[in-house]
Amino acid sequence: MDTKNKLIYKKRFWAGLWLAQFFIFFLLSKTERGVLFFEKLFSATQKIRVGIIKHIPFSTGDAFYLLLSIFLIVLVVLSIRKKSRKRALLTLLISINVLYFVYQSLWGMLYFQKPLLSRDKIQTIDTEKLKPLAEYYLQQCIILRKAHPSESFQIESKTALEAEIKAQQQIIAHTYGKGSSIDISLKSSLYKSVMSYTGILGYYNPFSSESQYNPELPSTYTPFTLSHETAHQIGFAREEEANFIAFIIGENSSSYELKYSAYWYALKTILFNISKKDLKYSKNFLKNLPKELMNDYKTEKKFYKDHEGKVQDFFSFTNNLFLKSNRQDGSITYNYFIYLLLDHHKEKGLHQ
């Protein structure tokens, strides 16, 4: 077999292998045992993978994505040129196979795990029932801010904040069967300015097992964002489940910063859902916020106004498509968190 035919055979082989992978993972995602295997694989290797990377002072995940982008661009350029096209396409096919296999094995299949809330508990949300909930979290936020009066919310020690999140995550992991010994790795993203203009608060990198966050975020966002991203690190793949876990971390914590950030997020999410049916109520609610809370709201609003644009709209759109492709509601609706919160209130017998 000559060199030309060998290359054609290899390209067909790797293209066929990718299709085979796609169908195998698809079929496994439909079986409880298949998904459970990957859950166990994630839990069994979580601490090892995090331990290898966490002591590196910069975000290896960011560096990996940069190098990967350069690598793929080079391959695309080479594939355009006639002399290098065949080998470049072969290398591209091999790379796609490897990346797809690693991603699906270590992360992608977790999107199909059993949800925290069964579908029979999900019903149409009554907007009127959300209003007392908004008032409840408003009062919680007021109490917390009065106990720590300042013109704007600030984080005293990021090191102490991370230590508290890690301690709470150990409890969460044990409670939800995510392993008895877990580790977390939080890194400030190298692309903080890019993240600000794309509306990305943080992200979990399944290849490096790191949680990256945007250090330019308003302080009110930071504790909740760190909790959210580390929730991914212990195996909660769905965005809204990670949000709920971040909320539980804040609620159970004695840290003012974590608790306030969690309750503040809950309040804003409730108001957003109310606004879809009763915009006037949400607008009046925000206008009448106490001074300290209004300052926090204005700080967040200014941050987004300073960084808004077409780039942010594009990333919001692509993120929405990604979420929907993985059996999630999408970044626009995000109702699932509200369902989880309402169910949590019922179970705990909390005020509604």
User: Residue 352: which of 140, 131, 75, 154 has the closest Cα?
Assistant: 131
Band of residue 47 on the pLDDT scale cut at 50, 70, 90:
confident
Q: Where are the domains of the chain?
A: 7-112, 120-348
Q: Which are the contacts of 112, defined by CB distance < 8 A and separation ≥ 6?
A: 29, 35, 327
Q: At what angle do helices 158-175 and 256-275 cross, to 10 degrees?
A: 70
Cα separation, 165 vs 8, whole angstroms: 52
CA 83 to chain CA mean position, Å = 42
Counted residue by residue, the chain has a size of 352
User: Residue 218: which of 146, 152, 141 has the closest Cα?
Assistant: 152
Find the mean pLDDT for residues 26-52: 92
Question: What is the predicted pLDDT for the residue at 262?
Answer: 96
Q: For 296-343, how does the pLDDT look when each residue is reduced to its tens digit (9 = 90+)?
A: 898 888 888 887 654 344 334 333 433 444 444 543 344 789 999 988
Other beta carbons within 10 angstroms of residue 91's beta carbon come to 17
Q: For 181-202, how does the pLDDT look when each residue is reduced to its tens digit (9 = 90+)?
A: 788 889 999 888 888 877 788 8
* Higher pLDDT, residue 330 or 165: 165
Does pTM top 0.95 for this prediction? no
Cα separation, 118 vs 85, whole angstroms: 50
Give yes or no for residue 31 having a pLDDT over 90. Answer: yes
Find the mean pLDDT for residues 224-247: 94
Q: For 89-133, how does the pLDDT look when each residue is reduced to its tens digit (9 = 90+)?
A: 899 999 999 999 999 999 999 999 999 987 777 777 788 889 999
Cα separation, 43 vs 182, whole angstroms: 8
Question: What is the predicted pLDDT for the residue at 350?
Answer: 63
User: Residue 327: which of 106, 101, 120, 112 has the closest Cα?
Assistant: 112
Cα separation, 117 vs 336, whole angstroms: 9
| Average pLDDT in the chain | 85
Query: Under a CB-based contact definition with an 8 Å cutoff, are residues 42 and 106 in contact?
Result: yes
Cα separation, 72 vs 193, whole angstroms: 23
Cα separation, 344 vs 275, whole angstroms: 22
Question: What is the predicted pLDDT for the residue at 2?
Answer: 60
* Higher pLDDT, residue 147 or 234: 234
Question: What is the predicted pLDDT for the residue at 26?
Answer: 95
Q: At what angle do helices 222-233 and 256-275 cross, to 10 degrees?
A: 90
Band of residue 210 on the pLDDT scale cut at 50, 70, 90:
very high
Q: Which two tokens stand for residue 310?
A: 């077409």
Question: What is the predicted pLDDT for the residue at 194?
Answer: 81
